[in-house]
Structure 1
Amino acid sequence: MSKKVLIISSSPRKGGNSDILCDEFAKGAAESGSHVEKIFLGSQKIGYCLGCGVCNTTSKCVQKDDMTALLEKMVSADVILLATPVYFYTMSAQMKTFIDRTVPRYTEITGKEFYYIVAAADTEVSSMEKTIESFRGFTIDCLEGTVEKGIIYGVGAWNKGEINSTPAIKEAYEMGKAV
């Protein structure tokens, strides 16, 4: 069965290690017959949440930026991959801003399958667990009917492209194929 796969890459470096893993996941998912769309957050105009509360009653944000279209894509996707480099044991600012801005429609992001990709120079998977717990705080605790399907830990990759010589590159492709 063909699924709509939405990949959210929050690396500030296009072609950075977590972004490369997104491309491998996308390749595998596309080869398995899924419709894949990758969003590179660094190319999007997304303002910080203002905390004004307007969206709590209107389901619309007062800001006019790219987040409106991204929320529509999230609502219509079957599968969502969230990918981030790990900075100081947590997600990138780009990913956190993106998650914060889902408030206007987060109650509509239901019944989704979620995958996570995290990449870091650190060689210990345990150093990435706080980031995964932050993702779960959003997906499992806040979104109804969420199913966590898999995690790729891209460890030991600092410079752009170093992820290509780690097992994570094949794992990302294979996980995408299994979507």
Structure 2
Amino acid sequence: MSKKVLILSGSPRKGGNSDILCDEFLRGAQDAGHKAEKIRVAEKKVAPCSGCYYCSTHGGACVRKDDMADILQKMIDADVIVLASPVYFYSISAQLKAVIDRTVARWQEVKDKEFYYITTMADEEKSSADTTLACFRGYADCVEGAVEKGVLVAGGVYEPGAVRNTSAMAQAYEMGRNV
């Protein structure tokens, strides 16, 4: 059965290591016959949530008029959501955090999702990704019916493209193929 796969690449660097792994996941999912799309959130205009709760009295519409409404609808429509980010001070990128926070407008409609997590970092200690993964999992904990299906942590990759010479490439592709 074909699934709708939405990959949210939180890398601020186009062609950055986590972005490259998103491309491999995308390729694997498409090769398996799934309808897959990658959104580079850094290329979208997504303002941070102001906590005004305009959305709660306006049918989920946000007071901010930017690209988030389209992204959020794609999240609601997806069967699978991939959250990907480099590790920034043991957490996720600001660009991806803004997207996650802005789902508050219609958060109860984001339900029954399979989640995959991709993270990259210069550090080689896998535990350095723990807080980043906790951020991903914290969001998924708020999604009714969320199921974690896969985690990929690629350490020891700092320079853009360094991940190309690692086993993480094949792992990302296989995760996508096995959606």
Shift of residue 166, structure 1, vs aligned partner: 1.3
Q: Deviations over 1:59-97 (max 9, x none)?
A: 111010000000110000000000000011000001111
Distance 1:42 1:129 in 2: 23
- Give yes or no for the alignment of 1:18 onto 2:32: no
Partner residue of 1:153? 153
What secondary structure, in the 3-state scheme, does the structure 1 residue paired with 2:148 have?
strand
- Amino acid in structure 2 at the alignment position of 1:158: Y
Root mean square deviation, CA, Å: 0.7
- Give yes or no for the alignment of 1:49 onto 2:70: no
Q: Deviations over 1:23-63 (max 9, x none)?
A: 00000000000001110011101111111111123211101
The two structures have a TM-score, normalised by structure 2, of 0.98
Mean alpha-carbon deviation: is it higher for 76-85 or for 57-66?
57-66
Please list, as runs of the form range in 1=range in 2, the aligned pairs for 1:158-169 lying within 5 A after superposition.
158-169=158-169
Paired residues in the alignment total: 178
- Amino acid in structure 2 at the alignment position of 1:143: V
Distance 2:153 2:177 in 1: 17
Partner residue of 1:127? 128
Partner residue of 2:77? 76
Please list, as runs of the form range in 1=range in 2, the aligned pairs for 1:26-105 lying within 5 A after superposition.
26-58=26-58, 59-105=60-106
- Amino acid in structure 2 at the alignment position of 1:74: M
Distance 1:21 1:173 in 2: 8
| Unaligned segments of structure 2, at least 5 residues | none
Distance 2:87 2:118 in 1: 10
Distance 2:91 2:42 in 1: 18
Q: Segments of 4+ in structure 1 off by > 3 A?
A: none
- Amino acid in structure 1 at the alignment position of 2:118: I
Identity over the aligned pairs, expressed in percent? Answer: 55
Shift of residue 4, structure 1, vs aligned partner: 0.4
What secondary structure, in the 3-state scheme, does the structure 1 residue paired with 2:62 have?
coil
Distance 1:71 1:87 in 2: 24
